[in-house]
Amino acid sequence: MKARQKRLVFVGLALVGVAGATSLALSALQSNISYFFSPTQVMANEHPVDAVFRVGGIVVEDTLERQSDGLTVHFDVTDNAAVVPVSYNGILPDLFSEGQGVVAKGRIGADGTFYAEEVLAKHDESYMPPEVADTLQTAHVDGVVEQTAGSLAPTSTTRSPTQ
């Protein structure tokens, strides 16, 4: 075999090896990805059916229920447009509380309940997961647009300081 042929064979084998390694890496990454969905998207069935995904929003006040086993909890998560019931079996993070931001990772059940494998809570007073903040902002803007479009008359009157 000539030197040139040996180099071509070597380059060809190297390309095949790189392609194989790339496909294995992409396959491993794909199996570990969990996408984020808002409660509105979950209720609209835009989520994957049999795959793990994340849902986030605000824990609805007065919905936290602890079961007698001490580990199972049920609560609702909202983006101010829709509500998703969540069930979690485990120890909640110390900073978890009603009225605060939360992201849960798990699967949706046939009964419409989100069964969380992991629950993440905010870590200080001012932090909000970026996905949750974007979702809440979108839901707020959509709600304002709907209210504005639904009413033609002004809802309040303004008074000048001299009146």
Query: In whole angstroms, what is the distance from residue 87 CA to residue 75 CA?
Result: 7
Find out whether 35 is annotated in a ligand binding site: no
Q: Mean pLDDT throughout 95-118?
A: 90
Q: Mean pLDDT throughout 29-50?
A: 81
Q: What is the pLDDT of residues 5-15, one digit of tens each?
A: 889 999 999 99
Q: Is residue 43 part of a domain?
A: yes
115 band by pLDDT with thresholds 50, 70 and 90 = very high
Find out whether 127 is annotated in a ligand binding site: yes
> Which residues share a beta bridge with 107?
115
Asked whether the beta carbons of 4 and 12 are under 8 A apart, the reply is: no
pLDDT: is 76 or 141 the higher one? 76
Residue 149 CB burial class (10 angstroms; 0-12, 13-18, ≥19): exposed
Q: Provide the whole-model pTM.
A: 0.61
Query: In whole angstroms, what is the distance from residue 123 CA to residue 96 CA?
Result: 9
pLDDT: is 122 or 86 the higher one? 86
**pLDDT greater than 60 at residue 163:** no
| Domain of residue 79, residue span | 36-139
Q: Is residue 150 part of a domain?
A: no
| Total domains present in the chain | 1
CATH number at residue 124: 2.40.50.140
Q: Is residue 123 part of a domain?
A: yes
